[in-house]
Structure 1
Amino acid sequence: MSIEECRPLKDKVALVTGGSRGIGAGITRKLASWGCTVCINYVDRVGPARKLAAELEEQGTKVTLHRADLGEPSAVEGLLDEIQSLHGDLHILVHNAAATKFISLEDATLDQWQFVQDTNARSTWLLAKHAVPVMRDRPGARFITITNSTTQRIIPRAGLFGAAKAALETLTDYLSYELAPYGIVANCVRPGLVQTDVFAVRPDFAHGVKHEMAISPWGEGPMTTVENSADVVAMLCLDEASWIAGQTITVDGGYRLWGNTGMRAKAGPRAPVAEPEAS
């Protein structure tokens, strides 16, 4: 296999919001390895962003860094304007950036509600709105959002997050319809529980890891990884995936289906079934 064949996204420009740490960094690395020029968005931690950029530049990837707080409407518009000015094109936008306040709904304030909605849901709408001029009719245009399991199961004190991510998922559904005339394919990816420094702050993290490992039919080893999540995002950017649209794809090894079974699936032959007695 030639080097060109290993870089199916060569010459495409990709923006990854929150792209310097955790799952976002994994997505950035994967898209870079497949040939993309990568635009890494971060908010206030420039150190990890610069470190990742240096790593990728050593590997021959073109990288630009973009500081923007996506909770601010003017910053979203400025981010897209900056990318258009620097690159002239944008083929792939992965909205991975997220923020929340872990607090019960009873104790949450209006400001906390608004903060979580603005940084997750409103930013999705604004990114799509301002991305259209720079993404429309570009070959292989993709708008991909990243959600999480708070929309699928109750996580203590994560109600604000769940509500905002549910809005993000619904917005992605509608965007898949409204962006289609511009040639932009929209989908959503829902990673399972991923062990990163970013998500270690989740209240259910330690218990969730212990529970999943105890009942996983995959044995003692695998859990969802940053790389699993990044692989699916990259797959959705391929030409072969152009007819997958308006989907929320869960990447969790099947945990969404078997997570409440309470027991590990047993490998090996099934026990024989007794023949019914003759009447």
Structure 2
Amino acid sequence: MSIEECRPLKDRVALVTGGSRGIGAGISRKLAAWGCTLCINYVDRAGPARKIAAELEEQGTKVSLHRADLGEPDAAARLLEEIGSLHGDLHILVQNAAATKFIALEDATPEQWQFVQDTNARSTWLLAKHAIPLMRDRPGARFITITNSTTQRIVPRAGLFGAAKAALETLTDYLSYELAPYGIVANCVRPGLVQTDVFNVRPDFAGGVKHEMAVTPWQGGLMTTAENSADVVAMLCLEEASWIAGQTITVDGGYRLWGNTGMRHQPRQAQQGPVPS
């Protein structure tokens, strides 16, 4: 296998928002491994951003770091202008940045509602809007959003998050239509419950992880990882996936479909002896 075949996204510039930690870091690593030049956005934790940049640069990847709080209305425009000045092109934009307030809806304030909507949904719209000049008619142009399972199952005190992520999913549907004339393919990826830094705030999520591990088939009781999500993001960037558009793809080992059954799947034993005719 040639080097080019191992790096199918060689010479493409990719922006990963929230790309220094958690699922975002997994996506950054995968796109780098496949040959992308990486633009990694972060908000206020410069240490992890510098660490992953050094890691990827040591492996031969070109990396630029971009501090921007996408909850601010002007941040997306400034971020895309910065990337345009530095790289000239943008082929892949992964909107992974997210933030929420874990609070019951009856206790939430309008300010908290707006913060969560602005960081997750409004930022998605503004990133797409300001990315068009950099991405239009570029080879393999992809706009990929990252949602989560709060839109599909009840997570206590996550109503604000679920509403904002539902808006993000619908925005992705409409963006897939409106970006298509520019040659930009848009899709959404919905990971299962991934153990990230959010567990420091919500230690009760550990129970959900144990349940998901118990019912996920054939993987021997593994949970969804950042790498699982990154694999699907990278796959969607391939030319062979260009006809997949406007989809929200769930990456959870099947948990969404049969997780409520409470049944643990056991690997099937290999059949012994000759197969009956």
Per the TM superposition, whether the score is higher than 0.5 is yes
Structure whose CA Rg is larger: 1
| Displacement after TM superposition at 1:200 (Å) | 4.7
Partners of 1:34 and 1:268 in 2: CA distance: 34
Q: Kindly tell me: are residues 180 and 187 of structure 1, through their superposed partners in 2, closer, same or farther at Cα, counting changes over 3 Å? A: same
Q: Which residues of structure 1 form unaligned runs of 5+?
A: 270-279
Aligned partner of 1:273 in structure 2 is: none
Q: Which residues of structure 2 form unaligned runs of 5+?
A: 270-277
| Displacement after TM superposition at 1:73 (Å) | 1.5
Aligned partner of 2:23 in structure 1 is: 23
Aligned partner of 1:161 in structure 2 is: 161
| Displacement after TM superposition at 1:7 (Å) | 0.3
Question: Quick check: 240-249 or 203-212, which moved more?
Answer: 203-212
Whether 1:213 and 2:207 are equivalent positions in the alignment is: no
Aligned partner of 2:275 in structure 1 is: none
**How high is the sequence identity, in percent, across the aligned residues?**
87
Partners of 1:29 and 1:198 in 2: CA distance: 20
Whether 1:241 and 2:241 are equivalent positions in the alignment is: yes
Aligned partner of 2:180 in structure 1 is: 180
Partners of 1:89 and 1:176 in 2: CA distance: 20
Q: In structure 2, the residue corresponding to 1:5 is in which secondary structure?
A: helix
Q: Kindly tell me: are residues 108 and 239 of structure 1, through their superposed partners in 2, closer, same or farther at Cα, counting changes over 3 Å? A: same
Aligned partner of 2:259 in structure 1 is: 259
Whether 1:223 and 2:229 are equivalent positions in the alignment is: no
Residues 105-153 of structure 1: CA deviation (Å, up to 9, x unaligned): 0000010000000000000000000000111010100000000000000
Structure 1 segments, 4+ long, off by >4 Å, are 266-269
Q: In structure 1, the residue corresponding to 2:261 is in which secondary structure?
A: coil
Partners of 1:93 and 1:229 in 2: CA distance: 15
Aligned partner of 1:277 in structure 2 is: none
- The answer to whether the 8 Å contact 1:21/1:198 transfers is no
Partners of 1:222 and 1:76 in 2: CA distance: 36
Normalising by the residue count of structure 2, what TM-score does the alignment of the two structures yield? 0.94
- The answer to whether the 8 Å contact 1:15/1:90 transfers is yes
- The answer to whether the 8 Å contact 2:218/2:267 transfers is no
Aligned partner of 1:144 in structure 2 is: 144
Aligned partner of 2:101 in structure 1 is: 101
- The answer to whether the 8 Å contact 1:157/1:203 transfers is no
Letter paired with 1:80? L
Instruction: State how many pairs are aligned.
Output: 269
Aligned partner of 2:170 in structure 1 is: 170
Q: Kindly tell me: are residues 133 and 206 of structure 1, through their superposed partners in 2, closer, same or farther at Cα, counting changes over 3 Å? A: same
Aligned partner of 1:62 in structure 2 is: 62
